[in-house]
Amino acid sequence: MEARLNTTYIILGGHVEVQRYRYLYFLIMLTAYILIIFFNASIVCLIVAHKNLHEPMYIFIAALLINSFLFSTNIYPKLLIDFLSEKQIISYQACLFQVFIFYSLSCSEFLLLAAMSYDRYVSICKPLQYPTIMRKTTVSIFLVLAWLVPACHVAVPVTLNINNKLCTYTLKGFFCNNALSSLSCVSSRFLSVYGVVVLFNVGIFPMLFILFTYIRILIIAYQSCGEVRKKAAQTCLPHLLVLINYSCLLTYDVVIVKLESDFPKIARFVMTLQIITYNPLCNPLIYGLKMKEISKHLKMLLCKAKEK
């Protein structure tokens, strides 16, 4: 549809019974968003406030939680507005921007997890060299690359699609993702090939690197004393849980477009809700409960709150 000022609008057709359950949806998703902000901000503030947590491992955790917060903020405010609106629409330009942020931050999650796995590998397998390898400069470079590399990769298809001609204006989702490409009149072979390259560069290769480092850690831990095994279990298990959760959910997002109309609308709605809710909520809980130092500071904070 063409509105004034030649703005093209996309209809977000993935909502289920939104007219009937708008206030229930709004209340549930608002609660989820508030919890995401509270949980992630709490862990990040703990890491910032305590100097003994100013180590590479905890800095990477803070970066991962900030990434989760930004990821949620890209989706939730618009989603909450849509629940209370008569029409669930978004301009094509805003939709492209949401796609850019969504996939940039999604890929950043993999690269941050890869940096964390390398940090654990050096810490457990090369403990004597750890201070010289994982310096502040190294950590800073990893953080910059984790956010910059995916942004550069994703910017290419988004830029090329700005003036794309659309033949249909209804998106099978309630926010903008890779399904946006299905609205184009002509599919680009270059963008299809480029999408596979991006998937390998910032998705599959980091995942393979993570698996390789953790296999090496497990081998070293198995051959070492019980203390090394305990350290490996305490620090690596949370990272692996986050990786498995996120990999499964992002695989769904990539595959769902290929299935198109074969996937039931309600199932699509529920699964997509999990993508935007599960990890941002679970990441701070996993790290807060499983990481010994963070858990200790959380317990101290709760004890002080009870005393007051």
Q: State both tokens at 258.
A: 């290929």
Rounded mean pLDDT of 14-22?
86
Please give the pLDDT value at position 231: 67
Q: State both tokens at 25.
A: 């949806």
| pLDDT, averaged across the chain | 84
Neighbours of 120 (CB within 10 A): 22
CA distance 24 to 26: 5
155 alpha-carbon distance from chain centroid: 17
C-alpha distances (whole Å) from 78 to each of 14, 162, 291 are 14, 21, 33
Architecture label for domain 4-307: Up-down Bundle (1.20)
Residue 54 pLDDT more than 70?
yes
CA distance 182 to 164: 12
Rounded mean pLDDT of 53-70?
92
CB 88 within 8 A of CB 232: no
Rounded mean pLDDT of 49-76?
92
Please give the pLDDT value at position 86: 87
More confident residue, 72 or 219: 72
Q: Where are the domains of the chain?
A: 4-307
Rounded mean pLDDT of 47-51?
88
Please give the pLDDT value at position 304: 67
- Nearest CA-CA partner of 10 in 209, 166, 238, 164: 166
CB 242 within 8 A of CB 279: yes
Task: Give the pLDDT band (50/70/90) at residue 63.
Answer: very high
Please give the pLDDT value at position 137: 94
Structure confidence by residue, pLDDT tens digits, 106-134: 899 889 989 998 998 898 888 889 999 99
CA distance 159 to 58: 35
Task: Give the pLDDT band (50/70/90) at residue 82.
Answer: very high
Please give the pLDDT value at position 4: 45
Dihedral-angle region of residue 6 (phi above 0 means left; psi in -120 to 50 means alpha; beta otherwise): left
Rounded mean pLDDT of 75-84?
94
CA distance 117 to 120: 5
Whole-structure pTM value: 0.88
Please give the pLDDT value at position 1: 41
Please give the pLDDT value at position 307: 59
Q: What are phi and psi of 171, to 5 degrees?
A: -95, 135
- Burial grade of 80 (CB within 10 A; 0-12, 13-18, 19 or more): middle
Structure confidence by residue, pLDDT tens digits, 293-305: 787 777 777 776 6
Residue 5 pLDDT more than 60?
no
Residue 272 pLDDT more than 60?
yes
- Nearest CA-CA partner of 271 in 286, 283, 285, 257: 257
CB 60 within 8 A of CB 113: no
